[in-house]
């Protein structure tokens, strides 16, 4: 065994007790649905997951699924060489089948392409993976524990995949000095001599594996008293958890925790642990809701669970009310009313000091479903839901040269063999006859918003309209798996308020701190947007940009402001960058400057009135 084959022992990990418990419970009861680990880099997420493999017993293994894996590598593929040589369909198992009975581990799972997410959802729901290739169907077992890690700053998960993770744990680096020293000391000792370090923990690892095995055998016999089932239902109802999957996962997790501690029956402590791990990520209603449960929210939910559970039979069927409790209708209230100001508390604006205008980014959005707008042409970017792109999935358009991303075009392959025969009959197929299938799917893009928040835009109704439209467009970008950036133009210059990110939640949060007012540096805003696009292209050249400009078209900052704005628009048009202009001008008298800007940009044009009166559905049209 080489140094590279030695794993850092699970029992040697310092701290992260909550994460280790979640992984152990998933190993005890795979029906829980796996674990999603969210947190900053350098918190031993991958080390802990990989250390779990030796504890899973015979057959247990951790299979890595790279985020850049092809679909054939994930689900398996037809062995074309054997098909052409022997005339028989033979399948090569993919990563999902290899993980059967073990753990499927995905590092940075939130960056996984959508088409692979679809495959994962199917396998997680059925415990099997079905391969459909060129008229041939094959099914393999794929019953695994799904474990993923992610950094929330890089973007969120699709809600459907998030719901498939039974447990979620948020991790952070240790803040205690002594604990940090112990972590570094252990890591350096392991790196210096992995075999000797692992040998010191063989006894602890064997004991932990035996305890997991014993809990696995015991978990099916753990009892769930009706009182605890009512407690679980009460907690889930109080937290407005959709559906019943949350109730089921909490019950399974509580049973696993009871089995882990050697009990024969679930009690309130088991339910509390299960609620902390299984419900925080099931409370979100849209991409911009905060996830997680605060201590106060958890206590309130558990209090609701206590009420639903009813009196403890060991207390003789009665239950003493807490101090201040008036009975089933809730606590006593102060007869003079709550000690609050009816007009709300006085607070300083974010960042301190006097604001230059109203805050941006708060309040309700328009709420209409956004109609797709796209970049021109066909790209080769990462899978998403916005613009047309060549991909391994989608509609087959024609036969092309065979390659690793094309799949097989059967008709094209047979036609090539027929043409080689020169009309003398169809010869045996050879690898040289293979033709690939060009498929057109959809990709994600870099959407750069240039938002004019100058003095001419800060009337209350106009700012609200701009704010709502921008938030709805950001929400649309989230659902289409885009990266987004926001440039704000106001005062004397423009600045990047939100650098390119996959986390639209972060974008909305940062926009809430933006202030408005001053002149209109439109030229600077367009230049900053172009700079963002150029920098992003150097890092990710296949991701095509889409520029969304929200302005009334006025340019008033600095000398020759209008001329410089025209020059900036002409430069963007010469680069062939797809754009949309949202005209924010209001009132009876219109200057029509945003129309001229759209013409110079070669952009799609729409008005704020259209957006605010009927929503975005019918008025943000595709430019493809």
Q: What string of DSSP letters covers 376-390?
A: SS-B---EEEEEEEE
Q: What are phi and psi of 456, to 5 degrees?
A: -70, -10
Q: How far is CA 505 from the centre of its chain?
A: 10
Q: Is the pLDDT of residue 138 over 60?
A: yes
Q: How many helices (H) and strands (E) does the chain have?
A: 21, 18
pLDDT in tens, 433-455: 777 776 666 777 888 989 888 76
Q: Is the pLDDT of residue 52 over 60?
A: yes
- Read off the pLDDT band of 257 (50, 70, 90): very high
What is this structure's pTM?
0.62
Q: Is the pLDDT of residue 292 over 70?
A: no
Tell which residue, 501, 394, 474, 503, has the closest CA to residue 442. Answer: 394
What pLDDT score does 289 carry?
Answer: 55
Whole-number Å distance between alpha carbons of 579 and 549: 8
Question: Which value, in Å, is the radius of gyration of the alpha carbons in the chain?
Answer: 29
Which residue has better confidence, 521 or 114?
521
Contact assessment for residue 409 and residue 437, using Cβ atoms and an 8 Å cutoff = yes
pLDDT, mean of residues 367-389: 59
pLDDT in tens, 7-43: 888 888 888 888 889 999 988 988 888 899 888 777 7
Helix (H) or strand (E) holding 469: helix 460-479
Contact assessment for residue 99 and residue 128, using Cβ atoms and an 8 Å cutoff = no
What pLDDT score does 367 carry?
Answer: 42
- Read off the pLDDT band of 83 (50, 70, 90): low
What pLDDT score does 295 carry?
Answer: 76
pLDDT, mean of residues 126-154: 77
What pLDDT score does 271 carry?
Answer: 92
Instruction: Specify whether 245 is catalytic.
Output: yes
Structure tokens at 340: 């609050």
What pLDDT score does 345 carry?
Answer: 35
* Active-site position among 50, 133, 230, 245: 245
Q: Is the pLDDT of residue 329 over 50?
A: no
Contact assessment for residue 209 and residue 54, using Cβ atoms and an 8 Å cutoff = yes
pLDDT in tens, 480-528: 777 888 898 888 888 888 888 777 667 777 777 777 677 888 999 999 9
Which residue has better confidence, 84 or 467?
467
Q: Is the pLDDT of residue 572 over 80?
A: yes
pLDDT, mean of residues 97-119: 81
Tell which residue, 114, 127, 129, has the closest CA to residue 159. Answer: 114
Which residue has better confidence, 476 or 482?
482
Structure tokens at 64: 């890595």
What pLDDT score does 574 carry?
Answer: 92
Q: Is the pLDDT of residue 348 over 60?
A: no
Structure tokens at 65: 């699924």
What pLDDT score does 260 carry?
Answer: 93
Q: Is the pLDDT of residue 592 over 60?
A: yes
Length of the chain in residues, anyone? 624
What pLDDT score does 445 carry?
Answer: 80
Which of these ranges, 78-82, 224-228, 460-464, 535-539, has the smallest mean pLDDT? 460-464
- Read off the pLDDT band of 301 (50, 70, 90): confident
- Read off the pLDDT band of 182 (50, 70, 90): confident
pLDDT, mean of residues 253-259: 94
CA atoms within 13 A on the CB side of 387: 24
Mean pLDDT value across the chain: 75
Q: How far is CA 423 from the centre of its chain?
A: 54
Which residue has better confidence, 408 or 38?
38
Which residue has better confidence, 559 or 397?
559
What sign has the CA pseudo-torsion 543, 545, 546, 550? positive
What pLDDT score does 25 carry?
Answer: 92
Kind of pairing between the strands at 136-141 and 128-133: antiparallel
Q: Is the pLDDT of residue 104 over 80?
A: yes
**Is residue 98 helix, strand or coil?**
helix
Domains of the chain listed by start with CATH number: 3-219 (3.40.50.300), 226-312 (1.10.8.80), 388-443 (no CATH), 446-614 (3.40.50.410)
Helix (H) or strand (E) holding 566: helix 561-574
What pLDDT score does 560 carry?
Answer: 86
What percent of the chain stands above pLDDT 90?
Answer: 15
Q: Using alpha carbons only, give the angle 19, 23, 29 rounded to the nearest 5 degrees.
A: 145
Q: Is the pLDDT of residue 403 over 70?
A: no
- Write down the H helix ranges in 99-176: 114-126, 159-164
pLDDT, mean of residues 148-158: 76
Highest mean pLDDT among 44-53, 74-83, 418-427, 459-468: 44-53
What pLDDT score does 253 carry?
Answer: 94
Q: Using alpha carbons only, give the angle 514, 516, 519 rounded to the nearest 5 degrees.
A: 135
Which of these ranges, 363-372, 375-384, 533-542, 576-585, has the smallest mean pLDDT? 363-372
- Read off the pLDDT band of 534 (50, 70, 90): very high
Tell which residue, 186, 256, 194, has the closest CA to residue 219. Answer: 256
């Amino acid at each position: 065994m080489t140094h590279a084959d030695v794993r850092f022992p699970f029992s040697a990990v310092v701290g992260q007790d909550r994460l280790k418990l979640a992984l152990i419970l998933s190993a005890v009861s795979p029906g829980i649905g796996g674990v999603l680990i969210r947190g900053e880099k350098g918190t031993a997420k991958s080390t802990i997951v990989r250390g779990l493999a030796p504890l899973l017993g015979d057959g247990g293994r951790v299979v890595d699924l790279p985020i850049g894996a092809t679909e054939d590598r994930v689900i398996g593929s037809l062995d074309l060489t054997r098909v052409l040589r022997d005339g028989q369909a033979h399948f090569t198992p993919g990563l999902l089948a290899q993980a059967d009975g073990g753990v499927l581990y995905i590092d940075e799972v939130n960056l996984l392409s959508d088409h692979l997410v679809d495959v994962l959802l199917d396998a997680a729901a059925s415990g099997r993976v079905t391969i459909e290739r060129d008229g041939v169907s094959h099914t393999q077992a794929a019953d695994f524990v799904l474990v993923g890690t992610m950094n929330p700053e890089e973007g969120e998960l699709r809600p459907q995949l998030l719901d498939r993770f039974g447990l979620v744990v948020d991790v952070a680096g240790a803040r205690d000095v002594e604990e940090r020293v112990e972590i570094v000391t252990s890591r350096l000792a392991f790196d210096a001599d992995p075999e000797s370090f692992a040998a010191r923990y063989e006894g602890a690892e064997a004991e932990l594996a035996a305890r997991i095995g014993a809990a696995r055998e015991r978990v099916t016999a753990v009892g769930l008293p009706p009182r605890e089932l009512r407690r679980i239902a009460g907690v889930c109802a109080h937290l407005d958890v959709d559906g019943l999957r949350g109730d089921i996962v909490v019950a399974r997790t509580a049973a696993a925790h009871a089995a882990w501690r050697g009990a024969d029956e679930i009690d309130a402590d088991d339910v509390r642990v299960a609620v902390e791990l299984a419900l925080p990520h099931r409370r979100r209603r849209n991409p911009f809701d905060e996830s997680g449960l605060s201590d106060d929210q958890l206590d309130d939910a558990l209090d609701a669970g206590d009420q639903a559970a009813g009196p403890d039979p060991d207390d003789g069927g009665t239950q003493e009310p807490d101090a201040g409790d008036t009975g089933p209708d809730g606590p006593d209230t102060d007869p003079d009313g709550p000690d609050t100001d009816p007009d709300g508390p006085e607070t300083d604006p974010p960042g301190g000091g006097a604001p230059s205008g109203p805050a941006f980014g708060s309040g309700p959005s328009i709420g209409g479903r956004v109609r797709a707008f796209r970049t021109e042409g066909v790209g080769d970017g990462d899978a998403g839901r916005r613009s047309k792109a060549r991909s391994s999935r989608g509609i087959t358009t024609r036969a092309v040269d065979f390659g690793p991303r094309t799949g097989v075009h059967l008709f094209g392959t047979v036609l090539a063999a027929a043409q080689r025969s020169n009309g003398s009959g169809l010869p045996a197929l050879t690898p040289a006859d293979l033709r690939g299938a060009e498929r057109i799917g959809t990709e994600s893009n870099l959407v750069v918003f240039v938002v004019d928040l100058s003095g001419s835009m800060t009337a209350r109704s106009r700012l609200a309209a701009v704010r709502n439209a921008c938030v709805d467009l950001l929400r649309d970008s989230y659902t289409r798996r885009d990266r987004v950036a926001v440039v704000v133009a106001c005062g004397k210059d423009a600045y990047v308020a939100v650098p390119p990110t996959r986390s639209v939640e972060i974008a909305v949060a940062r926009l809430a701190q933006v202030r408005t007012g001053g002149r209109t540096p439109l030229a600077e805003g367009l230049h900053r947007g172009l700079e963002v696009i150029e920098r992003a292209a150097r890092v990710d050249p296949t991701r095509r940009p889409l520029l969304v400009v929200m302005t009334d078209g006025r340019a008033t900052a600095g000398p020759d402001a209008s001329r410089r704005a025209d020059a900036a628009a002409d430069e963007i048009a010469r680069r062939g960058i797809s754009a949309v202009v949202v005209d924010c001008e209001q009132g009876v008298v219109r200057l029509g400057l945003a129309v001229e800007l759209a013409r110079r940009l070669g952009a799609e044009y729409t008005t704020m009135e259209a957006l605010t009166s009927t929503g975005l559905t019918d008025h943000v049209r595709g430019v493809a």
